[in-house]
Amino acid sequence: MAKPSREVIPPDRWAAVGQVSKALTLPEESRVHLDQVPLKDVPSWLGIDRALAGWGAWCRSGGAEELLVVDAGTVLSLTRVTASGCFGGGLLCAGLRLQLQAMGERTAALPVLGAQAIAIDQSPTFPRDTASAMTQGVIQSLLGLIHGATRQVQGTLWLCGGDAPLLLSGLLARGVAVHHTPDLVMESLVDLVS
């Protein structure tokens, strides 16, 4: 669980996946790059958010077990980290809002749901209204993917990201042991640079 020295990464650092808005004036020399995250065996194409979350969860777990990190954001990413702190592969799929957006924009009869329509869905398994049916269908598909992946990984599930609260109760109901750490990526960046 080696942390980089303060001399290597000063505390005024930032990281981002993808392009950064030109409205932000962030000095490029302060950007944290993937090769500065101490998760081992990381491929060059991995998003720094996944590397930070994987490394952060591994450090918090004590580094003694394999684990699965689920970041429930625009894309639902599942990242396996080995007990020795190595990137162990993963899965990616469209997240909740992206799936709902695709259904609403790419079909003739389904609505585009606004953020207010997406809430922790306590509706029946088979809702009678369209918006609940869409939301519940996507939530159940994401839960199924995560639950299936937990059967392949022998360690704990770490859940973070904006849509994590929408998935937490469903995972617990399926008997999945979950460390819900909503800000895992940001907390891991802070750990790395301090």
pLDDT in tens, 40-93: 999 999 999 999 999 999 999 998 789 999 999 999 999 999 999 999 999 999
How far is residue 153's CA from residue 149's CA, in Å, rounded to a whole number?
7
Please provide the average confidence, as pLDDT, over all residues in the chain: 86
Choice among 35, 41, 49, 71 that is catalytic: 49
pLDDT-derived band at 172 (thresholds 50, 70, 90) equals very high
**11 Cβ contact partners less than 8 Å away, ≥ 6 residues apart:** 193, 194
What CATH number has the domain spanning 28-193? 3.30.420.40
Share of the chain above pLDDT 70, in %: 86
121 is catalytic: no
Query: How high is the pLDDT of residue 83?
Result: 95
Residue 78 φ/ψ, nearest 5 degrees:
-115, 120
Q: What pTM, to 2 d.p., does this model score?
A: 0.86
